[in-house]
Structure 1
Amino acid sequence: MSGRIAQKFRSLAFEGKRAFIPYITAGDPALSATRDLVRALERAGADLVELGIPFSDPLADGEVNQAAALRALRAGTTVEGVLETVAEIRKSSQIPLVLFTYLNPLLQRGLERFATEASRAGVDGVLLVDLPLEERLPGLECLEACLTRIHLVAPTTELPRRQTIAKAAAGFVYCVARLGTTGVRDEVPAEAEEIVRSMRTLCTVPACVGFGISTPEQAAAVAVYADGVVIGSALVERIGAWGLTPDLCERIEQLARPLAEGVHRVSGKGGARGALLREPTGEGERGRVGNSCA
């Protein structure tokens, strides 16, 4: 059976829909809240969820996500705790889950050990923000066999490197909408559409756009040309403001629902990507349900 990520995108393509992919920091304000927030986001219309593993020295995160990581770390969040939370989520949900992380926390645990534990817990994919494609570390082969490794493409990524990334692409390609760090912005730059169109000529996996998208209007505008829309800081900021209030999950669900509707109301004949209806050939989806790592 193909992995949950590939299955979800094929289902969306068949329906002519784009993916709404919210991001939240695991452990903010607590891991018990993360479990409930994922369920709330799914009720609101999330198709996949990115969970950030908190790290003390982030490079790609803006002020909002940095603050969330610090709150999560102060609350005692660990890699082990995040994986235990994923296992709890899996008791009631099969929504695809991608871990957004930096390399150091995984090195501390050991890449092979992390890969095996993450697969067993029910993680589908991993986005290693600060590990270049060319770097081959002990245990990385196991990680790529157990989980779908998502790769980033930035506005400054030149064609030869885009071609290299396309050959390794699995699950979906994360197209960074702008230079700099994550954070709420007033508009989405035109470069994002160029990246998506470029990657579509190079590979068949979906091209999703993130960094700076924060409103239903922005989400709908990006969904016109992208296969998925990643929204993080707008949600993380509110989680930080509302903290452990009794109705946190209800508030986030209400906040996320119009974002999901903004993405889903954009439709296309035959789906966002007709090619996505094909079964993966082996390169496009490495993380499998029931794979040997589990």
Structure 2
Amino acid sequence: LMGYANPMTIRGPEWFAAECAKAGVDGVICVDIPPEEDAELGPDLRSAGISLIRLATPTTDAKRLPTVLKDTSGFLYYVSVAGITGKQQAALGSIEEAVARLKAATELPIAVGFGVRTPEQASAIAKVADGVVVGSALVELVGKHGADAAGPVREATRALADAVHSAR
């Protein structure tokens, strides 16, 4: 589950973690709480058996990385580009270098996202990362097709999954 702090904490982090557990959520990414400020949310998620997944970016340097990794569980999400999700894609070479640097610092799986839109992009990233995250491309299909989005989203998801599996 990926979202922002306000809806996650407005009723209290314990309530949020309990609701996530009831819904079968495995992991939470809270994009606007830095590691230094998650003292409320993190412990309740861990107590509920839910992974707290953190983000690393191209600007996460060696000094900052241990702070990002502390108490991170499930996987580390590498945001491959700076900017708005879904609008651009990083060069594969820079992604490969970043994933190698992150893998040297943690045993957690590394998933790469932001700017991944096509099966070809997903396949290329799957060759260097443990996981591929596609969001905006699927959200756009929902926006385009509305109530009839299930079919197009299923087809796109199948094509992306096939591309990732064939890359392994």
State the TM-score, normalized to the length of structure 1: 0.54
Residue of structure 1 aligned with 2:110, choices 207, 210, 221: 207
Residue of structure 1 aligned with 2:85, choices 165, 182, 188: 182
Residues 17-166 of structure 1 mapped to structure 2, 5 A cutoff: 99-138=1-40, 140-146=42-48, 147-166=50-69
Contact 1:178 1:192 (8 Å CA) reproduced: no
Contact 2:51 2:72 (8 Å CA) reproduced: no
Is 1:259 the counterpart of 2:160? The answer is yes
Aligned to 2:147: 244
What's the secondary structure of 1:109's corresponding residue?
Answer: coil
Residue of structure 1 aligned with 2:72, choices 169, 173, 184: 169
How far is the alpha carbon of 1:139 from its aligned partner?
A: 5.1
Contact 2:9 2:41 (8 Å CA) reproduced: no
Contact 1:188 1:213 (8 Å CA) reproduced: no
Distance 1:156 1:114 in 2: 30
Contact 2:42 2:52 (8 Å CA) reproduced: no
CA distances 1:186-227 after superposition (whole Å, capped 9, x unpaired): x43233222211111111110010000101111111111000
Query: Structure 1 residues 167 and 138, CA, compared in 2 at 3 Å: closer, same or farther?
Result: closer
How far is the alpha carbon of 1:164 from its aligned partner?
A: 2.6
What's the secondary structure of 2:144's corresponding residue?
Answer: helix
Opposite residue 134 of structure 2, the aligned amino acid is I
Contact 1:184 1:214 (8 Å CA) reproduced: no
Aligned to 2:95: 192
Distance 2:62 2:41 in 1: 29
State the TM-score, normalized to the length of structure 2: 0.92
Moved over 4 A (4+): none
**Higher Rg:** 1
Opposite residue 100 of structure 1, the aligned amino acid is M
Opposite residue 173 of structure 1, the aligned amino acid is L
What's the secondary structure of 1:152's corresponding residue?
Answer: strand
- Higher RCO (CA 8 Å, separation ≥ 6 residues): 1
Contact 1:126 1:148 (8 Å CA) reproduced: yes
Distance 2:116 2:17 in 1: 30
Opposite residue 133 of structure 1, the aligned amino acid is P
Aligned to 1:223: 126
CA distances 1:216-258 after superposition (whole Å, capped 9, x unpaired): 111111111000000111111111000012xx31221112211
How far is the alpha carbon of 1:121 from its aligned partner?
A: 2.1
Contact 1:153 1:195 (8 Å CA) reproduced: no
Q: How many residues align?
A: 166
Is 1:233 the counterpart of 2:136? The answer is yes
Extract unaligned runs of 5+ from structure 1.
1-98, 268-294
What's the secondary structure of 2:43's corresponding residue?
Answer: helix
Two-structure CA RMSD over aligned residues (Å): 1.5
Contact 1:169 1:203 (8 Å CA) reproduced: no
Opposite residue 143 of structure 2, the aligned amino acid is G
What's the secondary structure of 1:265's corresponding residue?
Answer: helix
What's the secondary structure of 1:243's corresponding residue?
Answer: helix
How far is the alpha carbon of 1:260 from its aligned partner?
A: 0.9
